[in-house]
Every structure is written in C-alpha cells, then in structure tokens.
Amino acid sequence: MENKLERILLKYDALLNSQKFIEEDLDYSILEKQIPYLKKIDEMSNSAIMIFDLFKRQHVFISNNISRILNIDLEKAKGKTDYIDNRIHPEDYPQLIEAGLYFLHYGFSLPLEHRKQGKLINEYRILNEKGKYVRIIEQQMCLETDLHGNVWLAMGIMDISPDQNENAPFRSRLIDILKGEVYKFPPPNKEAMLTARETEILQLISKGLISKQIADKLFISVNTVNTHRQRILEKLQADNAIEAIKYASKLGFI
C-alpha cells in the first residue's frame, strides 16, 4: 500500500509541477480582496473554507469554522498541508490523492478559459482534536487562474456530512458545470474519458504506427497526434504508451 501511495504522490507532484508559474505575475491583492468576503461567509454559515495556493503549495487562508465546526486546530492547519493530511483516515487518504490526480488530469486537459468550470466533491473521514473520526463533504473548485491560465488558487468548502456512518466508503465525483455532466471516482470505465479521436489514435498506436504515420493516415499534424498521445496517457494515468495499450486491451476497446 505504501509503495502504491508513494507512486501516486510522485505522479501528483509531477502533475502540479507541470504548471509553470512566474512569481512576479501573481497578483496577491486579488486574494486580499477576497478574504473579507470569505470571513463574512464563515460567520454566516456552518462551512469551513480553505484557500490553497498551488504556487506556494500551502493554505493561504483557513476560516475559523475549521475549529468551531470540525474541531480541527486552526493554527496547526495553517500553511503546509501535513497537519490536515495526517488526520485523514488512512483508508481514505490514498483514494483522495488518486481522485485528485484523476480529476486534475481532466481539468488540465480543458481549454484555459474553461478551467473554472469543474467542482470536485469528496466525502471522507478526518480525525478531529477529540480523537473521533468525522465524515465530511468537501467541495473544491478553482477560485483563480494566473495570467497564463495555470490553476493558482483553489477553494475548498468543508461541511459535516449528514451520513456519519464511520464505515461508509470514500466517495468522489466531479461536476462539469458548463456541460452539466458528472464523473465519478473510481470511474466505472476510464476509457469513457477518452474522445473518439483519442480512442482512434490509441488503436493505431497499438498497431505499431508512429506519430508521423498516424498523422498521415488521419490527415492531421504530427503535433496534434502528439498532443492526443499525451492526453491519452494523462487520462488513463499511464506512464507510457505500452501501459496505456495494456490497460485499454484489458478493457477490450482496442
């Protein structure tokens, strides 16, 4: 289990590193303007709000409700994610990271102007300061992108789940607000995330064709083929074409 989690964390870190931020282009006054509104929401609701900075890789805002509602130490939760990560149920944490990796691939594959259209909803257990696991529902969404379209500030809204069955399974789903579609994790069929063109290209790759041959056959550019190849690997969470082909063959769609 530890080796699998380590592999997932490495892939997750690599995916986050694929975003290339330019620090001087990040306008933190945007965040400062948001904070008074977030504090007001905190006062008027029973939800805890967190803002995660994907450039700094840390929480840059956590509302008081994380202590009042969830019994999580506010001061310890600020900054790096280790404190909160270590309180997530050990059965839920690997699935939470894997779901995040799966849906980040989807989000990063969207056109830059559509990267705010997804809402990720996770249900998992977290240990409070009283030593009791509490089941929560967390909604995550992109609050701000930078000037270059990178997902920069992510907002999480945490609520106590009405289902406090400690044995209830981890659940995760992504709502594409623009399309009105829902994607669940674990997905019943990962290949459903592939477009018809991506499936066609994967089938040609499995027959031994290289990018130039595929481009000539489909009357598209080599660059377009390579872009599709990269998205296939990302969506199937494969490190290379051989892994993607093996997985696709197992599912029987090539």
Instruction: Give the CATH number of the domain where residue 9 resides.
Output: 3.30.450.20
Token pair of 154, please? 């992510």
Q: Are residues 69 and 168 in the same domain?
A: yes
Q: Are residues 29 and 119 in the same domain?
A: yes
Q: Are residues 60 and 103 in the same domain?
A: yes
Number of domains in the chain: 2
pLDDT (tens digit per residue) in 22-67: 999 999 999 999 999 999 999 999 999 999 999 999 999 999 999 9
Q: At what angle do helices 93-109 and 222-235 cross, to 10 degrees?
A: 160
Q: Are residues 88 and 75 in the same domain?
A: yes
Q: Are residues 117 and 224 in the same domain?
A: no
Q: Are residues 24 and 137 in the same domain?
A: yes
- The DSSP-derived string for 215-253 is HHHHT--HHHHHHHHHHHHHHTT-SSHHHHHHHHHHHT-
Cα angle 233, 172, 98; round to 5: 40
Q: In a 10 Å sphere around its CB, with 0-12 CB exposed, 13-18 middle and 19+ buried, how is residue 15 labelled?
A: middle
Amino acid at 126: I
Do 177 and 184 contact (CB within 8 A), yes or no? no
CATH number of the CATH domain containing 237: 1.10.10.10
pLDDT for 252 equals 53
User: Among the three residues 185, 208, 243, which one is the final residue of a domain in this structure?
Assistant: 185
pLDDT for 187 equals 67
The full 3-state SS of 13-64, as one line of letters, equals HHHHHCCCCCHHHCCCHHHHHHHHHHHHHHHHCCCEEEEEECCCCEEEEECC
Q: Are residues 25 and 56 in the same domain?
A: yes
User: Among the three residues 160, 185, 210, which one is the final residue of a domain in this structure?
Assistant: 185
Owning domain of residue 247:
190-251
User: Among the three residues 185, 213, 235, which one is the final residue of a domain in this structure?
Assistant: 185
Q: Are residues 96 and 179 in the same domain?
A: yes
Q: Are residues 91 and 32 in the same domain?
A: yes
Q: Are residues 16 and 99 in the same domain?
A: yes
Token pair of 171, please? 């659940």
Q: Are residues 17 and 101 in the same domain?
A: yes
Which letter does DSSP use for residue 88 in this model?
B
1: confidence class by pLDDT, cuts 50, 70, 90: low
More confident residue, 192 or 233: 233
Q: Are residues 20 and 44 in the same domain?
A: yes
pLDDT (tens digit per residue) in 141-195: 999 999 999 999 999 999 999 999 988 889 999 898 888 888 877 766 655 567 7
Q: What is the pTM of this model?
A: 0.73
